[in-house]
């Protein structure tokens, strides 16, 4: 055998099945040391992260593979969800030997064990991962009239000019309180549903819509009420109903780790007529918060005083948010929502998330539960605890920040092999349903605009300079070229491609609030918008892009090639992220290849496509016989 590895868990010579396994599933491991090394015994040592159980299974000698000897074993995965950490021990008849882990042979204790995710098979709604998502910051998407903020919670003011730069200067106390509003509304979103449907959108993810003192509404004031500047519960129900007519579902943002200091529950400034926890220890919400002592000192999210942290363990809070017949979770799903996105999932206890999932599975089995997790969610540690997000009883899927980081790094001059490695790590660690239900994106309300990231030469030091920064013609051309490639990968990779409102229109901006400007209706980049619409149509029309498997064809330097394969056929994505033309040869047994982006037809030579990709070029190829009289382009 020519394979140089002793053990590679991603290769079927060494491990079956690939990646994560379900509870009780049979796992086959094979270790392949060189025969010349003289090893006569091999064992795998497995340790359960959550069970704490450790066991050693000896592998049986299983014959030779060329210059290697093979040891094999089969075992059943645990009956309960867990993370298994494993390494091998190899030894000779004389007792000498070593350990083998991800770093290679070791004389001492393993430092880098392999991970085996063991998950419980539970239903995951397929509509989310197979569709196209669109994230909306509700205040900034579409307004139908200029609202009057009089009588609303918080000291709000409204921009008359829709094209203003969001307010960013600190107030006299040195804080940016996000009290400037533009007046986007739920009715405005409903009005723009044809626009969204034309791009192939099937899921709307809305940043918080509940009553709040700030424009971002992550400091919830009343979970039971739509913010009056956005509209009414009737407007929300109409949005969900009208969206459903276009095949679009709505996911809401649940901010359950903290509320606003100006909320009904805390009521620090006395806006609400009822007693909040900051006003009286007899408040029905008093045990929702931790005071040290009451009322001047209290736990707050990251120490931000306007965001008092909630005690999730409070029985009345659990009842209010999750378990009551008219709980927040149930109420808004009953009103038409298709799912929830959990803000700062790291701040929520596993049992709290599990309770939400249980209610959703029981009463709303087709609803989707998404979590905000910025790292590999399969092995995340937060607050010194390993999390169980994807083991089957909590989240259906997570926001895929590793996808964004790896893809943008590659497109900015990085090695495509590093993008492949980052994505293969997730594919190996995540249960398949979670990998194919990941929310992939290029930007969110918490990141700079992708066009600015991909185009800007510098990041100005001062906030004032960043507030007014616009890409030069050279930067804009480079950013647009890279963004087109980013969108191509986004729409053809497993998971739901998610567009942050306005990215398809060419919006620019650095960090919050500069990434949260109003959508430029009438000022969109028409070519970029057309590109996103084309990709949306292809995603909608091609089954392989919605649910096909993933196979890597090439990933090195500026060149990336991968295939999505299903019973209905396969499609191949090619990307050249270089400023230079690059040759690429791919095995291609079919008679021809059609590029779905341009309509060009290519003929193989000797069962291979020998292409030259121009700078910043992408292709989406599918097998196709040459049409009569259709020219085949030279390769």
pLDDT of residue 569: 85
Query: From CA 431, how far away is CA 397, in angstroms rounded?
Result: 10
Residue linked to tokens 């009822």:
274
Residue linked to tokens 């063991």:
118
Active-site choice (372, 475, 503, 504): 372
- Cis? peptide before 17, omega within 30° of 0: yes
Query: From CA 269, how far away is CA 155, in angstroms rounded?
Result: 11
Cα distances (Å, whole numbers) of residue 604 to 210, 277, 531, 626: 57, 72, 27, 11
Cα distances (Å, whole numbers) of residue 433 to 36, 79, 357, 522: 42, 19, 15, 39
Q: Based on C-alpha coordinates, what's the Rg of the chain?
A: 27
Which H/E stretch holds residue 48?
strand 41-48
> pTM of the full predicted structure?
0.97
pLDDT of residue 521: 98
Strand partners, 340: 252, 369
Exposure b/e, 590-622, CB count within 10 A at least 16 = b: bebbbbbbeeebbbbeeeebebebeebbbbbbb
The answer to whether residues 116 and 23 touch, using CB atoms and an 8 Å cutoff, is no
Beta-carbon count within 10 A of 155 CB:
12
pLDDT of residue 3: 82
How confident is the model over 600-632, as pLDDT tens digits? 999 999 899 999 999 999 999 999 876 543 444
Question: Do the bridges between strand 82-91 and strand 68-76 make them parallel or antiparallel, or are there none, so unpaired?
Answer: unpaired
Burial of 473 (0-12, 13-18, 19+ CB in 10 A): exposed
Low-confidence ranges of the chain (pLDDT < 50): 1, 628-635
319 in active site: no
End-to-end CA distance of the chain: 35
pLDDT of residue 630: 44
Active-site choice (211, 253, 343, 475): 343
Residues 6+ apart with CB under 8 A from 346: 372, 373, 380, 382, 383, 387
Which residue, 370, 407, 599, 582, is CA-closest to 491?
A: 407
How confident is the model over 492-506, as pLDDT tens digits? 999 999 999 999 999
pLDDT of residue 523: 98
The answer to whether residues 333 and 302 touch, using CB atoms and an 8 Å cutoff, is no
343 in active site: yes
Cα distances (Å, whole numbers) of residue 462 to 5, 425, 475, 500, 511: 51, 37, 20, 25, 12
pLDDT of residue 379: 98
The answer to whether residues 205 and 253 touch, using CB atoms and an 8 Å cutoff, is yes
Residue linked to tokens 């939400």:
356
């Amino acid at each position: 055998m020519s394979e140089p590895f002793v053990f590679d868990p991603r290769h079927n010579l060494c491990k079956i099945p690939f990646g994560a396994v379900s509870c009780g599933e049979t796992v086959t491991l094979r270790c392949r040391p060189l025969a010349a090394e003289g090893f006569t015994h091999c064992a795998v040592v497995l340790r359960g992260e959550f069970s704490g159980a450790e066991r050693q299974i000896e592998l049986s000698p299983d014959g030779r593979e060329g210059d290697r000897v093979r040891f094999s074993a089969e075992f059943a995965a645990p009956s309960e969800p867990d993370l298994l950490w494993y390494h091998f021990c190899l030894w000779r008849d004389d007792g000498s030997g070593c350990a083998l882990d991800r770093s290679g042979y070791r004389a001492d204790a393993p430092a880098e064990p392999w991970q085996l995710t063991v998950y419980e098979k539970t239903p995951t709604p397929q509509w989310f991962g197979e569709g196209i998502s669109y994230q909306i910051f509700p205040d900034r998407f579409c307004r139908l009239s200029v609202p009057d903020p009089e009588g609303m919670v918080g000291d709000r003011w409204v921009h008359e000019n829709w094209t203003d730069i969001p307010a960013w200067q600190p107030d006299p106390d040195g804080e940016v309180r996000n009290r400037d509003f533009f007046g986007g509304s739920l009715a405005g979103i409903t009005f723009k549903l044809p626009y969204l449907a034309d791009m192939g959108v099937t899921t709307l993810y809305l940043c918080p819509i509940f009553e709040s003192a700030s424009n971002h509404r992550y400091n919830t004031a009343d979970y039971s009420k739509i913010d009056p500047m956005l509209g009414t519960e009737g407007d929300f129900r109409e949005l969900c109903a009208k969206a459903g007519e276009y095949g679009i579902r709505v996911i809401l943002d649940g901010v359950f780790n903290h509320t606003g200091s100006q909320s009904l529950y805390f009521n620090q400034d006395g806006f609400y007529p009822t007693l909040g926890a900051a006003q009286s220890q007899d408040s029905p919400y008093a045990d929702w918060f931790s005071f040290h002592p009451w009322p001047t000192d209290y736990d707050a999210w990251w120490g931000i005083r306007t965001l008092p942290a909630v005690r999730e363990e409070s029985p009345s809070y659990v009842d209010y948010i999750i378990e009551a017949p008219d709980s927040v979770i149930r109420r808004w799903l009953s009103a038409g929502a298709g799912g929830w996105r959990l803000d700062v999932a790291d701040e929520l206890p596993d049992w709290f998330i599990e309770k939400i999932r249980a209610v959703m599975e029981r009463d709303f089995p087709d609803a989707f539960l998404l979590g905000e997790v910025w790292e590999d969610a399969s092995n995340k540690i937060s607050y010194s605890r390993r999390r169980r997000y994807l083991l089957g009883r909590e989240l259906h899927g997570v926001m895929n920040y590793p996808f964004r980081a790896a893809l943008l790094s590659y497109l900015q001059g990085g090695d495509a092999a590093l993008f492949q490695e980052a994505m293969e790590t997730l594919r190996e660690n995540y249960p398949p349903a979670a990998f194919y239900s990941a929310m992939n994106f290029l930007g969110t309300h918490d990141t700079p605009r992708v066009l600015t990231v991909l185009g800007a030469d510098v990041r100005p030091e001062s906030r004032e300079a960043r507030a007014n920064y616009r890409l030069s013609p050279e930067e804009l051309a480079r950013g647009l070229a890279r963004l087109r490639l980013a969108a191509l990968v986004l729409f053809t990779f497993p998971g739901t491609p998610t567009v942050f409102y306005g990215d398809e229109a060419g919006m620019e901006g650095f960090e919050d609030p500069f990434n949260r400007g109003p959508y430029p209706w009438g000022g969109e980049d028409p070519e970029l918008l057309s590109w996103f619409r084309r990709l949306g149509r292809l995603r909608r029309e091609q089954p392989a892009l919605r649910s096909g498997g993933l196979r890597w064809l090439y990933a090195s330097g500026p060149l990336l090639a991968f295939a999505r394969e299903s019973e209905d056929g396969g499609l191949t994505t090619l990307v050249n992220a270089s400023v230079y033309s690059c040759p690429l040869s791919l095995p291609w047994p079919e008679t021809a290849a059609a590029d779905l982006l341009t309509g060009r037809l290519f003929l193989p030579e000797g069962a291979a496509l020998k292409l030259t990709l121009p700078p910043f070029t992408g292709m989406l190829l599918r097998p196709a016989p040459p049409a009569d009289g259709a020219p085949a382009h030279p390769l």
